[in-house]
Amino acid sequence: ESIEKGGYPHFMLKEIFEQPRSILDSMRGRLVAENTQLTMSSIREYATRFKNADRIIIVACGTSWHAGLVAEYMIEEFARIPVEVEYASEFRYRNPVIREGDIVVAISQSGETADTLAALELAKSKGALIFGVCNVVGSSIARATDAGAYTHAGPEIGVASTKAFTAQVTVLSLIAMMLAEMRGTMETSALRQMMMEMEQIPAKVEKALQLDKEIQAISEIFKDATNFIYLGRGFNFPVALEGALKLKEISYIHAEGYPAAEMKHGPIALIDENMPVVVIATKDSSYEKIVSNVQEVRARKGRVIAIVTEGDTVIPQMAEFVIEVPAAHEALMPLISVIPLQLLSYHIAVMRGCNVDQPRNLAKSVTVE
């Protein structure tokens, strides 16, 4: 087993550090920015259906559901197709409205999650086209779909999903770009720019991983906390949910992820001088707004750990701790901003003596209801 871990103490850490490579693997052969070329044969095969889609419904569970939320923002922004993201377990039991012009995208690392499989079978019986985004080749969900794209992240052993998430977001962003190209909703120059940004992501993730020691030091300070709040807006909102989920899963610390502006409708009541608040505040179209959210937390003496873009001079004056990540297009930022959150949860869990790779009560794939 120690050989399989490749010198890392846990599979989770190995998988976190594999991400520059796994993200590259999930783009390989599918993207050539130089020629503004996107290749995903399964999408081309159903080009007419995708071009004329009235709606895309994404069904997934857990971390895959968070990747679905990122996809919702990307597909609506780039391809202008309305998207709904559903918990598979709710969708399958609530008599959802599914029409023939709908495309249902099932996202699953294992390809074996029972609720996701049942949700897609239901949608299939109502005539929707079913597209899968799975990691495990030949898995039940992959086989049950009409078409799909594998994420090619390689085997993920740690129960808490890390590299599978970034691979899903990568593939879904390529899908969003392809749909934009097919529907003519994005200028070629903008599309090429996005593709070039995409090609730079592995190197930027590599850079974000170099923050490991810094994050370890911050983890030491907060390892005994009993609660955490994670805030983000726009493309970083799903990242806040994912950061909170990672911490809960492996360190057993209660954590809530929230859209930053929604904080004032509840979680703000929890903030006092003991509350760690992780704010994903990278430079994007909601930057000014998130600066005000940081101020609101500071005014209540919350302990802000901010993820910011390199060179930011404003937030470092307000936050107690600042983690600087490389800049990227805002739609691709989740691929970078999630890295420090994965590392934070990992180090805190290790310091608390938790079984990081096999946390209590959780399973890698949930094949029962």
Catalytic residue positions?
Answer: 364
Structure tokens at 2: 């120690």
Residues 131-170 that bind ligand G6P (CB under 6 A): 159-161
| Helix (H) or strand (E) segment spanning residue 254 | strand 254-259
Q: Which of 278, 156, 154 is nearest to 215 (CA)?
A: 278
One of 19, 22, 26, 108 touching ligand G6P (CB under 6 A) = 108
The residue count for binding ligand G6P (CB under 6 A) is: 16
**Stretch of 1-9, 13-21, 103-111, 143-151 contacting ligand G6P, by CB under 6 A:** 103-111
Classified as helix, coil or strand, 283 is coil
Q: What's CA 105's distance to the chain center, in Å?
A: 16
Question: In this chain, which residue has its C-beta nearest to ligand G6P?
Answer: 62
The single-letter DSSP state of residue 96 is: -
Report the length, in residues, of the chain: 369
Does residue 229 bind ligand G6P (CB under 6 A)?
A: no
**Stretch of 8-16, 35-43, 109-117, 222-230 contacting ligand G6P, by CB under 6 A:** 109-117
Report the C-alpha gap between 361 and 28 in whole angstroms: 36
Q: Which of 185, 179, 156 is nearest to 168 (CA)?
A: 156
Burial tier of 212 (Cβ tally within 10 Å: 0-12, 13-18, 19+): middle
Report, in Å, the least distance between residue 145 CB and ligand G6P. 13
Are the CB atoms for 279 and 305 separated by under 8 Å?
Answer: yes
One of 19, 22, 89, 109 touching ligand G6P (CB under 6 A) = 109
**Stretch of 61-69, 75-83, 311-319, 333-341 contacting ligand G6P, by CB under 6 A:** 61-69
Structure tokens at 14: 């190995």
Does residue 26 bind ligand G6P (CB under 6 A)?
A: no
Structure tokens at 249: 């899963």
Q: Is the CB of 136 or the CB of 280 nearer to ligand G6P?
A: 136
Does residue 64 bind ligand G6P (CB under 6 A)?
A: yes
Give residues in contact with ligand G6P (CB under 6 A): 61-64, 108-110, 113, 116, 159-161, 362, 364-366
